[in-house]
Amino acid sequence: MEKSSLDADCCALNTVLVEEKRGHLIPNGNAHQGVNGTLICGPISAATGAISSAAAEKKKGYPERETWTRQMDFMMSCVGFAVGLGNVWRFPYLCYKNGGGVFLIPYVLFIFLGGIPIFFLEIALGQFMKAGSINVWNIAPLFKGLGFASMVIVFFCNTYYIMVLAWGFYYFIKSFSSTLPWSTCDNPWNTENCIEIFRHGDCLNGTIGNSTFGNLTCEELANGRSPIIEFWENKVLNISDGLDEPGAMNWEMLLCLMAVWVMVYFCVWKGVKSTGKIVYFTATFPYVVLIILLVRGVTLPGAYDGIMYYVKPNWSKLGEAQVWIDAGTQIFFSYAIGLGALTALGSYNRFNNDCYKDAFVLAFINSGTSFFSGFVVFSILGFMASEQGVDISKVAESGPGLAFIAYPKAVSMMPVAPVWAALFFIMLLLLGLDSQFVGVEGFVTGILDLFPGKYYMRYQREIAVAICCLLCFIIDISMVTQGGMYVFQLFDYYSASGMTLLWQAFWECVVVAWVYGADRFMDDIARMIGYRPFPWMKWCWSFITPCVCMGIFLFHLLNYKPLTYNNVYVYPWWGEVIGWCMALSSMLCIPVSFVYKLSGAKGTFRERWEILTKPVWGAHHLEYMAPDTDIKSLASLSPGTEENKIL
């Protein structure tokens, strides 16, 4: 066998362990690693000695790497993490904005050109290396900056994303009242321009003309503000005039923020054994609520018009570059690529788990949820447009505007409004909660993997999770002030933007395909799952996906527009500087780490390159990658048949 596998003379084992043949993972700690791409080895006795050493360290109290109790735990965790708020509030809006059903053409194309290949790469990489987002790049140590970059991105995500949960939790609590507080204008936070019923249709039809309605003329009605907008801006946000005016603290929102962080902590503190169980509820219950809301939505007047607005194709849009860019960017957002959390989840799989099939199943669930939620969203938006007598384009919004303005308005129009409001916001809370605690899990896994087993201490995980949650909470305090929304949008626009994720995905493909070797990694995957994936994956990693990522990245860069809030407030120059600092804090990790490692090594450039790109293997590779299996014999096999299994 060529250099694409471990040296058989060095790392040979006579037999594959019985546990492997049964499909059970033998957990190993994080301390059992060789150096410079080799295992401490010699003849057979050296390999056996390595395993004996691992057993000895286990007796010393070093931690074993956790594994999922059941494979379904992993699947549900991936569903919970990848299927989030973006599927419900971003995809339907993009579909409507970019030509309805026509948007599905570039969307599906990018699923196979970028989404599934990188999704599979991250899970397979974590499963093969048995490490979190940093140590997984021991596969090519020179590019370990990729791991630090993903840690920075997921830290920023964990920091600002939870604010959506805090807002959702606040709305959920306020839903427990006989009259929803955002449905009336008789509250302390309402202004004199607040109007409950606009009657735009009567004004347009000339029914009331210039006469008054409720002491207001049609001209005054046109300048009126909805109670839901005033509740959002004056009560929930109590928003100030700009980023430079932080204002007072919103103590109610601070308590909600504290409550959701406590929930996240107790979901994550015991590791994947507890996370894998909690996610069964948090990942499935939103589907129950979505189905209930769909059944209710399609029975409302105007629902048909809303759904047709959503799916009716506008073929002229296919010629616009922005449609293709939106499709590609949405794939990277919704598939949670580049954050390192998928790698962490994959690292808890048993070594011979069929992650290839898992990737396709999870991709189908993710995109299917996005498409399904569009029917829920637009059946309700159609109802809203019908009730208000306006075009659907006037009520269709994206982001927080859809979740905290359009939806609350819709449920306030329904019979037994508090029940529907509570259902919607518990769905919103659960959709975000599992994404949040899996993101925290990925971050903590990456941090703990940096500490060798000899530094293990009791309650290490619990303390690490507590420090992570506390640090994020302290930063989040800036987002519960009157200027908090400006801070939130700054994080959202720069720290985990499309540019940072695309940059990360580009380098992941380049390192695996061109530094480590695409064929070599395909051999490694065959070692794990028992057959070689379709060559399409290798072609994507090597050529197609990097070109797609860099193409969209350059488009974003060339079409950069300064950040604004509500298309009115323009951020000051120093605000943009802070934003770019957040973006570059992750993007620069890759080149800075590369230069630092390369300059610190000795020898010629070629010698340094060979040393620094040589993988650092773990003991589990010694245990599982038995030499008596010829990888090349798997080349002609395809998945799905019994005779192509190694085990």
Which residue ranges make up the annotated binding site? Answer: 80, 82-83, 87, 334, 366, 431, 434-435
d(CA 214, CA 218): 10
CB distance 330 to 96 below 8 Å:
no
Return the amino acid letter for 505: A
Helices 145-174 & 251-268, crossing angle to 10 degrees?
A: 120
The residue type found at 633 is S
**Residue pointed to by tokens 């109610």:** 252
Closest CA to 544 of 129, 173, 254, 110: 110
138 CB-contact burial (10 Å; exposed 0-12 / middle 13-18 / buried 19+) = buried
Residue 618, strand partner residues: 33
Measured from the Cβ of residue 152, the count of other Cβ atoms closer than 10 Å reads 23
Element holding 412 (H helix, E strand): helix 407-412
CB 161 within 8 A of CB 336: no
Alpha-carbon gap, residue 563 to 565, rounded angstroms: 7
- Could you list the residues known to form a binding site for Na(+), using ranges: 80, 82-83, 87, 334, 366, 431, 434-435
How many Å apart are CA 395 and CA 388, to the nearest integer?
A: 9
Residue 191 phi/psi, 5-degree rounding, is -105, 175
Degrees to nearest 5, angle at CA 503 with 602 and 440: 95
Tokens for 68?
């999922």
Residue with tokens 């919970």: 80
